[in-house]
Amino acid sequence: MIIKSPIDLELTQSSGQTSQPPWKKINDSYREVVNVNDKLAIFDVKQSGDYLDFNFTGDVSENEAVSRLRYIYDLDFDLDEFYKYLSNHSELADMSDFCNGLRLFLAPDPFECVISSICSANNSIKRWTKSVSDIKQKWGDNYNGFYTFPGISTLQNVFLDDEEEFDLTNEEDICMCKNNLKSCGVGYRAPYMRKASELFTLEMDLLEIPKMTYEEALESILKVPGVGPKVADCILLYGFNFKEAFPSDVWIKRIVSYLYFDGKDISVSKVREFGMEEFGDYAGYVQLYMFHYARKSGLMDKLK
């Protein structure tokens, strides 16, 4: 079926949003297992003109599947209105040409977004997406060749590294110990991931986050080990659709400084405050478009 909301599927998939790794590309389709109201289904999407051609298999209704798809790709967000907003701001006016059809790629599983965002810190897109994919294959459930993200309680009990695995199992050769987080290439982030699992098991309910204000949600997410303001805003934007979040790192700092402050050195925290105040409910989208505009237009090379 054709879902008539404009999108550039490949750009959205490859944009490095920390909600999840890109879906598996098979020929010209992207496929993934998705939890739809506690039932699993395989979603299959491909580009059809400006729109998505959507098919699915699983014991879910068409209305349920379409509703879930519309959420994941943020298809109810009005891109035309957003482009009018960009065109009315000289600093942003060119961005829609370079990023046309780019949408938020929202997390079907907020816990996966938490772990993905922790894994993305000081990491390349290629490396963190491989690490998260490895975690899914090691401890997720296999559903017709696709793997769910492991549940919170599952990840809580995963070994941190080969030494812990060797000490607590009957394995006779430490070189054979591959059933641990560090074997997925997450490095120093492994303890943060397990502690996050413990936090969400014992102290905090992820399902409560969407019911909070942005400020309440930010305060809660900042309690997660290994999560600072940038990662927290990624979690809130890509995991929970708080569009007022403006994830800010050194690259966004350089871009904002170039566009708005004549290249002056300003702090990342000031950039975040500026982005939220200046762009309001469009902050998350503006940040997403800024980054990819800088990458695709050559501005990022100029700012290095």
- Scored b (16 or more CB within 10 A) or e, 215-253 reads eebbebbeebebbebbbbbbbbbbbbbbbbbbbbbeebb
Where are any strands of DSSP class E within 59-210? Answer: 142-143, 146-147
**81 and 96 Cβ atoms separated by less than 8 Å:** no
| Whole-number Cα distances in Å, 200 to 89, 140, 216, 226, 228 | 41, 18, 16, 14, 17
Known catalytic membership, residue 4: no
- Residues in contact with 45: Cβ distance below 8 Å, sequence separation at least 6, in sequence order: 9, 23, 29, 30, 31, 52, 53, 54, 55, 69, 73
Class of residue 181 by CB neighbours under 10 A (exposed 0-12, middle 13-18, buried 19+): buried
**304 and 295 Cβ atoms separated by less than 8 Å:** no
Task: Give the Cα separation of 2 and 208 in Å (integer).
Answer: 34
Tokens of 113: 């977004």
**Catalytic choice (136, 230, 243, 253):** 230
Tokens of 48: 């059809």
Which of the residues are catalytic? Answer: 230
